[in-house]
Structure 1
Amino acid sequence: MRDERFCASNCPFTRAIGTIGNKWKPIIINVIGTRTVRFGQMDSIIPIISRKVLAEQLKELEEDGLLERMAYKELPPRVEYKLSEKGLAFLPILDSIKEWNCKYEVTPLTEAPGQKSRITYAADLIDRKTFVPKKIAKVATDAVIKD
C-alpha cells in the first residue's frame, strides 16, 4: 500500500520511496523486466504474495505510471502487464541494489538443519546485460538444509 505522506513530501527521494518503497513493488518490477507478463505468471513466480496484494500492487504501479495494463476482450478474460518507459528506467536501479546486496550482505540466507526452505530467484529472470528475458516458469526450489 502506498504511503501518501511520503508521496506528498517536498523531497524527491522521499516521494520516490513513497511510490516504490514497499516490499513488493521492486520485486514485481524486476519480475516483469522487459517482457509482457500475465497475472497468473506473476502469481506463480512470486508464490509468497497473495493474489489480492499482487492485484493491489499492480494497480498502484499502473496509477504511478510505472506499468502498462493491457486488457483483451476475450473469454476467458486476458490481462497482460509490461513496464512503461518510467518503469524500464527503474531496472538499472534494481541492478545496483542487487549488486550492493551481493557485496555487503551481512547475513546470507541460512536455515536450521532439517528445515525446509522455499527459495525463489525472482531477481535472476532476465539477463540485464543483453536484456534477453529468460523463459518464464515457476522459478523456485525446495531445499532441505543438512547438518
Structure 2
Amino acid sequence: MDNKSLFGKCPYFTAQKVFSGKWSILIMYHLSDGTLRYGELMRRMEGITQATLTKQLRMLEEYGLVSRKVYSEIPPKVEYSLSELGRDFQPVLEQFKIWGDKYITSLKDKKSPEE
C-alpha cells in the first residue's frame, strides 16, 4: 500500500499528514485560546515568517481544522479560529503539554552539574 492510499484510511498516517507542518501544532495551540487576527497570531509565533504562517494557516484551513473569517473593511481584517473539528483536537494538545513537560523534566534531570 503506497502512502497516498493510506491517507484517510490509516489514522496514524492521516494525523501525521495533517500535522506535518513544522508550525501546525503551535498554531493550533495559540488558536485554542480563541479567535485571533493574523497580526496577533504572527506576534505569538516567534520565529515564523509571514509566508510560512500564511502557508500553514491555509493548509490547516484546507484540512478543516481552522476557520478564516474575512471582514470587508479598510484596512482588511482577517480572523482565524479553530473549527469544530479543530476544537476536537484540544484534548490531544493537552496531552502534548503533559508529555512535553515530563520530557523537559527528564532532560533537566539528565544534565550534569558541570553544565
Runs of 4+ more than 4 Å apart: 4-7
Of all paired residues, the percent bearing the same amino acid is 35
Q: What is the aligned-residue RMSD (CA, Å)? A: 2.1
Q: Cα distance, 1:97 vs. partner? A: 1.1
Secondary structure of the 2:99 match is: helix
Compute the TM-score of the two structures, normalised by the length of structure 1: 0.65
State the distance in 1 between where 2:40 and 2:6 align.
Answer: 30
Name the one with the larger strand percent: 1
Give how far 1:34 is off.
Answer: 4.1
**TM value normalised by structure 2:** 0.82
Cα-to-partner distance string for 1:28-61 (whole Å, 9 max, x where unaligned):
0100114110000011111200000000000111
For structure 1, the residue ranges without an aligned partner over 5 or more in a row are 109-146
- Count of aligned positions: 106
Offset of 1:11 from its aligned partner? 1.4
The answer to whether 1:102 aligns with 2:81 is no
Task: Report the 3-state secondary structure (helix = DSSP H, G, I; strand = E; otherwise coil) of the residue aligned with 2:69.
Answer: strand
Q: Secondary structure at the match of 1:55?
A: helix
Q: Structure 1 residues 6, 103: CA separation in 2 closer, same or farther (over 3 Å shift)?
A: farther
| More helix, by proportion | 2
